[in-house]
Amino acid sequence: MARWTPGARERLQQAALDLFATHGYDKVTVAEIAEAAGVTERTFFRHFDVKREVLFIGQDEFAGAFLTPIGDLPDEQTDPGTIVLAALAGACDFFPDDRRPFSRARDAIIDAEPALQERELLKLAGLTDSLTRAMSVRGIDPQRARLAAETATVAFRTTFATWIADGENRSFRAVLDSVLADLTVLADGMAAHPPIS
């Protein structure tokens, strides 16, 4: 029972989510998570520094899903729209359909705990900063880079919220396309007005 098995990390995450959902995040101990996953506490701590990390591990892969496709673009590519679209398309690969039940359960637990919400907000703020930097190093001016990064983060958050909604069964990509279509309509609606000043 104590030996390391492939997939222990995923089993620990799943066991933790089930326990958090049943008993509440605060009430569940690492010992209980390890027991439910059929491993020792030592194995738990081989994968996660603290209990909370069972919900936040994989943050580098998450950021990488956005940033790797930007790195793959030619250096001459300096159109913010093209760059953030590449990042968003990459993010889709991180959310295949079979990840949806996990994402849904994770979100419900985070939603119930202000401290976890803050952690999640920081994670997304970090993503926005990374996207801004990835554009700045291409020479895009700071205002445009930040606006594009923030808008991409908003598109991601909105897509994610719809994708995990009850009864939603479209793919992440299909939802993202509908969000981007809404964004175009929104921007056109705003552009149709005379300047504010």
| Residues near a second copy (CB under 8 A) | 79-82, 84-85, 88-89, 92, 118, 121, 125, 143-144, 146-148, 150-151, 154-155, 157-158, 161-162, 171, 173-174, 176-193, 195-197
Nearer to a second copy among residue 28 and residue 91 (C-beta):
91
Rounded Cα–Cα distance for residues 45 and 49 (Å): 6
**Least distance CB 53 / a second copy (angstroms):** 20
- Smallest gap from Cβ 93 to a second copy, in A, equals 11
Residues 6+ apart with CB under 8 A from 26: 113
Of 29 and 117, CB closest to a second copy: 117
Q: How far is the CB of 16 from a second copy (least distance, A)?
A: 26
Task: Give the number of other Cβ atoms within 10 Å of residue 26's Cβ.
Answer: 10
Tokens matching residue 13: 């995450």
In angstroms, the CA 95 to CA 47 distance is 22
Distance CA 187, CA 112 (A): 33
CB of 59 to a second copy, least distance (A): 18
